[in-house]
C-alpha cells in the first residue's frame, strides 16, 4: 500500500478547507517547502500537491511553490528514499512524481465550473488518507462530455490496453526507454488486468539475450491458457520463425519493430503466413524538425525514416495495426504526443494504438478525441495501481468515449 | 463422456479455443484437437474455428478431405463455427478473387467495404470489441445480455440468403450478420475464446447444448 500525503496550496500556505469551502480555511504551515521536506523525512514515497487557487481561477497560481518543492533535494539522511522500490533513483524519480500530481490537476483547471475542483480535491484527499490512490479524477465530477465527433459515434469500443514490458520474465517499466524499475510477475498482472476488464494485453519483451527469450514463450503460453482476451507480444521479433513460435504459444498479434525496418518485406511474408490481423508494426518515433523520425533497438538507433511515410508503407505491406510510441513522451507522464498520433491515424486506414506518456486518465481521453487513436496503451498508471482499468474506462465513458464496461 | 472435437486444418492457433473450452467444460468432457475426418465423425460436438484467407482455408479443407465430414457434422451434431469457421459455411466468398465454400448456408461472403450503405473511412480490418444485438432467441445466448461486447477481427462478413437464419447483428459503419444459426449449427464472426466473460459464457452454453431449440 502506498500512503500519499497531500499538500493543498492556497495563497502560498499549506491549508485544509472544511468541506471544500474556501472561506473555511485552516493554515497548517506557511512554508510548503519545509512541509514537503518533513513528509519526505517521514518516509513518504510520493507527494500530492493541489493548487487550490489554480482550481478556482482556472490556471496555475502556485507554480512557484511546486517548482521550489520539486527543486529541493531529498534529505540524504533519510534511508527510506534509498530503499524504496518505487524510488530506486530517489533524487530524480521522487521529484518527477511530485510534478505529475500537479500536472494531473490541469485537467481540472480546464473545467468550466471551478466548483467541481474543490469537490475533486476533497475526494482526492479522502483517497490519500485511505491509501487507495493518488490522482483520482472520477468521471461523474468531470465537465460534460464533448460533442461526439464522427469517429466517436461508432459503436466499436475504444480499447484500453495495459502494456507490460518484460525483462527476463519480470514486468518492468522504463522511463524514456532507459531507466528500468521492477513492477511484478507478468502472469499475475495479466490476470489482474483481465479481471479489471482490460480489452487486450500487450507484452513487450525487452530481454536482450536469446536464452531469456524462451522465458517469454513460457509466459505467453501460461497467460494464453488463463486469460481469454487478445494478447499482443512484441520485442526482439526477428523473422517469420519467431512470429510463428509466438503465435503457436498463444499470441494473437505479434508486434514487429526493428526487424521490419531492416527487412520491410518481412511484414509481407509474415502476413502471408499468419494473416493481416496477426501483424502489428510497432513504430517508435521522435520529433525532429517538425517531423517524426523512426528509431529502432528500443529507441536507441535513429533510422532517418519518416514515421508517417513508414506507417503508410507498412499498411501497404499488409500489417493490421500500428502500435505508435512517442519516444519523447514514453515514461514521462506528460500525455501522448497528440499531434503525432493524429497525423498517423489520419494517414492510414488501419487501427492505431497510441502509446507513450500516459500520466493520468485525461490523457487516455485526449488520445482518442484529439489523437484519433483507436486504442490507448499505458503502463505505469496501471502497474502502480494508481488507477484500475475499470476506473479508466468509467472516466472515458463519462467523457463521451465508447468503451466496453 | 462427451467428446468435443476442435477441427484443426492448419489455419490459425487453436490453443486459446482449446483452453477456453477446457475452462468451461465439466470434468467428464474430452476435448480433442485434430484434423482427421475420423475425429469429426466420432465427436459428439464439433467446434470449427479458422483464421486467415478463405482461399487458404478451403484449400486446407479439401487437401485434408474434410469438406464432407464437416457437412455431415453440421447436419448431425451441435456445431459451432468461429470466424472463418462461419464464413466458409456459406456458398461462396468474394475473398481471393472468389472462393467456393462449403455451402451449408445459402449466401455469400463479401468485403466489409462492399457492404450496401457502408460509411466510408472505416478502418479495415474491423478489430476490437463491438456490440452484438441478438436478433432472436437461441440457447447459446442464454445468460448473455443483449448488446454485449464481443471481440472481432475480420475484413469480410457473411450475407446469408435467408435473413431468418441471422441470430445476431453488429454495426460497423453498416450492420452485418455476426451470428448465424440453423438447426444444430451456430456460427459467429467474433471470437468467443477472446471475448472474456461473455465469450466464455457462449462456449459454456455450447458445451451444455443438446441441440434442442
Q: Which domains does chain B have, with CATH numbers?
A: 2-208 (3.40.50.880)
Same domain flag for A389 and A244: yes
Could you tell me which residue, B96 or A70, shows the higher pLDDT?
B96
Q: Which of A136, A165, A199 is the last residue of a domain?
A: A136
Percent pLDDT > 70 in chain A is: 72
Q: Which pLDDT band, with edges at 50, 70 and 90, does A317 fall under? A: very high
Q: Does one domain contain both A111 and A199?
A: no
Q: Is B131–A155 a contact, with Cβ atoms under 8 angstroms apart?
A: yes
Is residue A143, in this structure, part of any structural domain at all? no
Q: Which domain holds residue A195?
A: 150-398
Interface of A with B (CB under 8 A): 150, 154-159, 194, 197, 199, 221, 224-226, 228-230, 247-250, 252, 274-278, 320-321, 349-351, 374-375, 404
Are the beta carbons of B16 and A228 separated by less than 8 Å? yes
Higher pLDDT, A12 or B202: B202
Q: What mean pLDDT, rounded, does chain B reach? A: 93
What is this model's ipTM? 0.87
Res. A211 pLDDT band, cuts 50 70 90: low
Structural domain tally of chain A? 2
Q: Mean per-residue pLDDT for A248-271? A: 91
Can you tell me the mean pLDDT for A386-390? 93
Shared domain for A101 and A51, answered yes or no, is yes
Query: Residue B91: is its pLDDT beyond 60?
Result: yes
In a domain, A403, yes or no: no
Residue A141 lies in a domain: no
Are A350 and B53 an interchain contact pair (Cβ–Cβ within 8 Å)?
no
Percent of chain A beyond pLDDT 90? Answer: 39
Tell me: do A374 and A305 sit in the same domain.
Answer: yes
- Residue range A116-151, pLDDT digits in tens: 333 333 333 333 333 332 323 333 233 333 333 333
Which residues of chain B make contact with A199, given a CB cutoff of 8 A? 128-129
For residue A45, the model assigns a pLDDT of 66
What pLDDT is stored for residue A87 in this prediction? Answer: 30
Residue A95 has pLDDT above 60, yes or no: no
| pLDDT of A82 higher than 80 | no
Q: Is residue A130 domain-shared with residue A154, that is, in the same domain?
A: no
Of residues A21 and A221, the one with the higher pLDDT is: A221
Would residue A142 count as lying in a domain?
Answer: no
| Binding-face residues of B in 119-148 toward A, CB within 8 A | 121-131
Instruction: Based on the fold, state whether residues A350 and A275 are members of the same structural domain.
Output: yes
Kindly tell me if the per-residue pLDDT of B37 is higher than 60. Answer: yes
Are A187 and A113 within one domain? no
Is residue A144 situated within a structural domain?
Answer: no
Query: In the listed set A82, A101, A136, which residue is the last one of a domain according to the structure?
Result: A136
Statement to judge: residues A59 and A179 lie in one domain: no
> Do both A117 and A93 map to the same domain?
yes
Give the pLDDT mean for B71-81. 97
Using the 3D structure, point to which of A114, A136, A158 is the last residue of a domain: A136
B 166-185 residues with CB < 8 A to A? 170-173
Residue A224: list chain B partners with CB under 8 A. Answer: 15-16, 19
Whether residue A116 is found in the same domain as residue A208: no
**The three-state (H, E, C) secondary structure of chain A, written as one string:** CCCCCEEEEECCEEEEEHHHCCCCEEEEECCHHHHHHHHHHCCCCCCEEEEHHHHHHCCCCCHHHHHHHHHCCCCCCCHHHHHCCCCCCHHHHHHHHHHHHHHHCHHHHCCCCCHHHHHHHHHHHHHHHHCCCCCCCCHHHCCCCCCCCHHHHCCCCCEEEEEEEEECCEEEEEECCCEEEEEECHHHHHHHHHHHCCCCEEEEECCCCHHHHHHHHHHHHHHHHHCCCCEEEECCCCCHHHHHHHHHHCCCEEEECHHHHHCCHHHHHHHHHHCHHHEEEEEEEEEECCEEEEEECCCCEEEEEEHHHHHHHHHHCCCCEEEEEECCCCCCCCCCCHHHHHHHHHHCCCCEEEECCCCCHHHHHHHHHCCCCCEEEECHHHHCCCCCHHHHHHHHHHCCCCCCC
Residue A80 has pLDDT above 60, yes or no: no
B194: nearest CA in chain A? A229
The answer to whether residues A202 and A110 belong to one domain is: no
Per-residue pLDDT at B166 exceeds 50: yes
Are both A208 and A97 inside the same structural domain?
A: no
Q: In Å, how far is B82's CA from the nearest CA of chain A?
A: 15
pLDDT interval class at A277 (50, 70, 90)? confident
CATH code (residue A264) = 3.20.20.70
Q: What is the pLDDT of residue A89?
A: 32
> What's the confidence (pLDDT) of residue B1?
87
State residue B50's pLDDT score: 86
Amino acid at each position: 500500500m502506498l500512503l500519499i500525503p497531500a499538500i493543498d496550496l492556497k495563497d502560498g500556505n499549506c491549508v485544509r478547507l472544511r468541506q471544500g469551502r474556501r472561506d473555511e480555511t485552516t493554515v497548517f504551515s506557511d512554508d510548503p517547502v519545509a512541509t514537503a521536506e518533513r513528509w519526505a523525512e517521514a518516509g513518504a514515497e510520493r507527494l500530492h500537491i493541489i493548487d487550490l487557487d489554480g482550481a478556482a481561477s482556472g490556471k496555475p497560481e502556485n507554480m512557484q511553490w511546486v517548482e521550489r518543492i520539486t527543486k529541493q533535494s531529498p534529505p540524504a539522511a533519510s534511508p527510506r528514499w534509498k530503499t524504496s522500490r518505487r524510488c530506486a533513483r530517489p533524487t530524480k524519480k521522487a521529484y518527477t512524481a511530485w510534478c505529475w500530481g500537479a500536472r494531473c490537476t490541469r485537467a481540472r483547471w480546464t473545467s468550466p465550473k471551478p466548483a467541481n475542483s474543490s469537490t475533486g480535491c476533497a475526494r482526492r484527499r479522502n483517497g490519500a488518507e485511505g491509501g487507495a490512490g493518488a490522482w483520482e479524477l472520477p468521471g461523474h465530477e468531470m465537465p460534460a462530455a464533448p460533442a461526439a465527433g464522427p469517429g466517436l459515434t461508432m459503436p466499436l469500443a475504444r480499447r484500453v490496453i495495459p502494456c507490460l514490458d518484460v525483462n527476463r520474465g519480470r514486468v518492468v517499466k522504463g522511463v524514456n526507454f532507459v531507466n528500468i524499475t521492477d513492477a511484478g510477475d507478468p502472469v499475475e498482472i495479466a490476470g489482474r488486468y483481465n479481471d479489471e476488464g482490460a480489452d487486450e494485453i500487450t507484452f513487450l519483451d525487452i530481454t536482450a539475450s536469446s536464452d531469456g527469450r524462451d522465458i517469454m514463450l513460457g509466459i505467453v503460453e501460461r497467460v494464453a491458457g488463463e486469460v481469454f482476451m487478445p494478447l499482443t507480444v512484441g520485442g526482439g521479433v526477428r523473422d517469420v520463425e519467431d512470429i510463428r513460435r509466438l503465435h503457436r504459444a498463444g499470441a494473437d498479434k505479434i508486434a514487429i519493430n526493428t526487424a521490419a525496418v531492416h527487412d520491410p518485406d518481412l511484414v509481407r511474408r509474415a502476413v502471408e503466413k499468419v494473416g493481416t490481423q496477426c501483424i502489428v508494426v510497432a513504430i517508435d518515433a521522435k520529433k525532429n524538425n517538425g517531423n517524426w523520425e523512426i528509431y529502432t533497438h528500443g529507441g536507441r538507433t535513429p533510422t532517418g525514416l519518416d514515421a508517417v511515410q513508414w506507417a503508410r508503407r507498412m499498411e501497404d505491406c499488409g500489417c493490421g495495426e500500428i502500435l505508435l510510441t512517442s519516444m519523447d513522451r514514453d515514461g514521462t507522464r506528460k500525455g501522448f504526443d497528440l499531434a503525432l498520433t493524429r497525423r498517423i491515424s489520419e494517414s492510414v486506414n488501419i487501427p492505431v494504438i497510441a502509446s507513450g506518456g500516459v500520466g493520468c486518465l485525461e490523457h487516455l481521453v485526449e488520445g482518442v478525441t484529439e489523437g484519433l487513436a483507436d486504442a490507448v496503451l499505458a503502463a505505469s498508471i496501471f502497474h502502480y495501481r494508481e488507477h484500475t482499468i475499470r476506473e479508466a474506462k468509467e472516466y472515458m465513458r463519462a467523457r463521451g468515449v465508447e468503451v466496453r464496461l | 463422456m462427451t467428446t468435443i472435437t476442435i477441427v484443426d486444418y492448419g489455419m490459425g492457433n487453436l490453443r486459446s479455443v482449446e483452453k477456453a473450452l477446457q475452462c468451461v467444460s465439466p470434468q467428464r468432457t474430452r476435448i480433442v484437437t485434430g484434423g482427421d475426418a475420423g475425429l469429426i465423425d466420432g465427436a459428439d460436438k464439433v467446434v470449427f474455428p479458422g483464421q486467415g484467407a478463405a482461399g487458404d482455408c478451403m484449400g486446407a479443407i479439401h487437401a485434408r478431405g474434410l469438406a464432407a465430414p464437416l457437412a455431415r457434422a453440421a447436419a448431425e451434431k451441435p456445431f459451432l463455427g468461429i470466424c472463418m469457421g462461419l464464413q466458409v459455411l456459406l456458398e461462396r466468398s468474394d475473398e481471393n478473387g472468389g472462393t467456393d465454400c462449403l455451402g451449408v448456408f445459402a449466401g455469400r461472403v463479401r468485403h466489409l467495404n462492399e457492404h450496401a450503405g457502408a460509411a466510408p473511412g472505416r478502418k479495415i480490418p474491423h478489430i476490437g470489441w463491438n456490440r452484438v444485438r441478438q436478433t432472436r432467441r437461441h440457447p447459446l445466448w442464454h445468460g448473455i445480455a443483449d448488446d454485449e461486447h464481443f471481440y472481432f477481427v475480420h475484413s469480410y462478413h457473411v450475407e446469408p440468403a435467408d435473413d431468418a437464419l441471422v441470430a445476431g447483428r453488429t454495426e460497423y459503419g453498416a450492420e452485418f450478420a455476426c451470428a448465424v444459426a440453423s438447426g444444430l449449427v451456430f456460427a459467429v464472426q467474433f471470437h468467443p475464446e477472446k471475448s472474456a466473460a461473455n465469450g466464455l459464457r457462449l462456449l459454456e452454453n455450447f458445451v451444455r447444448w443438446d441441440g434442442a431449440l
